[in-house]
Structure 1
Amino acid sequence: MLSLRRGRPRRLRPLAVASTALTCSLAAGVLTGCGGGGGNGSTGSRTPSTPNTASFTGSPPSALASSASSAAASARASASAAASSASARASEFEASVSAESARREATAEKKLKGVKGQGNALSEVGMSGMPKAQTGGVLAVLVNITNKTDRKASYAVQIDFEDSNHHVVETRYTGAENLEPGQKQQPIVFSRQPPERKLTPRLAKAQRY
């Protein structure tokens, strides 16, 4: 009985060896060896392979140059759009007041032709500047005309735009008609000179009629 028990392990040993060999064979696709292979105990380590540069795309220098070029083009487009927008706002502002302004200007210029000096209504007219952000960059003046008399009256006003040397560069006219006593009107006068010019508006004449 004892010999039989001792013999059974001897029959199983070949099976265990075969199982081990099979395990190593199945793992061969993953590991380079199993148990042996050099005896230095580093069978699991592998030498890093060199990346395949053929899979890389793009060239950093040209890509950066393209990015810079795109940024510059975008900046130029933004500046051009801003200039166009300002021009459009100026045109819209001028168009909104041009029809009435043209009529008032013609009437006022006609009424002031024979007036000497500064006229009889300078104290009834005032001016205030308008923000260029509101007028689209156009130099514009809000003219305040108030009838300070006790009867209905009309007014003709002359505005001169002067440069830094006090030379009159441009003259514009406006006015108000049939104002009741105490009534006020605020026509707008704007310069047709380029916005870059530094001009100062001056109340030249105001005539009540």
Structure 2
Amino acid sequence: MGGGVSRVGRRRRHRGAGGVAAAVLAAAGGLALVACGGGSGNTSGGSTSFSPRPSPPVTASFSGTPPSALASAASSAVASARASASAASSSASARASEFEASVSAETERANAAARKKLEKAQGRGNAVSDVSLTGMPRSETEGLLALHVNIRNATAGKASFAVQVDFRDSGGKVVETRYVGATGVRPGETVHPIVISHEPPEPKLNAVVAKAQRY
């Protein structure tokens, strides 16, 4: 009697131990499935291996540029500024010539004649009060200093005018002199020839009517 009970107990313990082992194996298999197939979407039954990769840094909130890029940008800016400064004088004269190329040949002849007329004028001439200057936007003149010379004929008959415009620095020294003329201006009419400095934009110059002769 006792021997039968012992055998039954041993069979139950054996089955219990086997059930625990089976549960452990099943759990281990489930973990293996999760490790192999998690998030891959691969249903072909083959095994998939992976190795962890470091996440790249989040740069969305960064501002500025790396030190090396800043140094390179600064060097480029300095080089560009030096090149611009060295070419300013020659380019200003070239651009002035190009701008003046749009002026008619008749106007050029009048300007040449104006210089000759002013050589014979006494003092500042007889028409300084009939002439004024109006600056032109540099955006329209390739960055050059250009002005409208406003000449009004206040007499009762047609007249011609010769005007000398001096460009002076901040100390009042004459840096450049240009001439402009207008012929056959009708009574009461105002004409607006253009005078252009060939000097570079810097340092800034002031334009003044030095002489004006009506003839």
TM-score w.r.t. the length of structure 2 is: 0.60
Match of 1:72 in 2: 74
Of all paired residues, the percent bearing the same amino acid is 44
Return closer, same or farther for 1:172/1:20 CA change in 2, 3 Å cut-off: same
CA offset at residue 88 of structure 1? 7.0
Match of 1:203 among 186, 203, 209: 209
Match of 1:22 in 2: 25
Aligned residues: CA RMSD: 4.2
Return closer, same or farther for 1:185/1:15 CA change in 2, 3 Å cut-off: same
Return closer, same or farther for 1:88/1:164 CA change in 2, 3 Å cut-off: closer
Return closer, same or farther for 1:92/1:194 CA change in 2, 3 Å cut-off: closer
Specify the code of the residue in structure 2 equivalent to 1:192: H
Q: What does 1:49-60 correspond to in 2, within 5 Å?
A: none
What do residues 176-209 of structure 1 show as CA deviations (whole Å, max 9, x unaligned)? 1212222221112122233323433221211122
Return closer, same or farther for 1:189/1:20 CA change in 2, 3 Å cut-off: same
Match of 1:103 in 2: 109
Specify the code of the residue in structure 2 equivalent to 1:141: L
Q: CA–CA distance in 1 between the matches of 2:115 and 2:17?
A: 125
Match of 2:132 among 119, 123, 126: 126
Gaps of at least 5 residues in structure 2 are 1-7, 34-51, 57-64
Q: CA–CA distance in 1 between the matches of 2:141 and 2:165?
A: 18
Q: CA–CA distance in 1 between the matches of 2:172 and 2:96?
A: 27
What do residues 101-141 of structure 1 show as CA deviations (whole Å, max 9, x unaligned)? 64332121122222212222222211133344554443333
Given the alignment of the two structures, is residue 152 of structure 1 paired with residue 158 of structure 2, yes or no? yes
Gaps of at least 5 residues in structure 1 are 1-6, 31-50, 57-62
After superposing on structure 2, the runs of 4+ consecutive aligned residues of structure 1 that deviate more than 6 Å are: 80-85, 87-90
What do residues 144-193 of structure 1 show as CA deviations (whole Å, max 9, x unaligned)? 01112222222111112234444433221001121222222111212223
Aligned length, in residue pairs: 176
Match of 1:143 in 2: 149
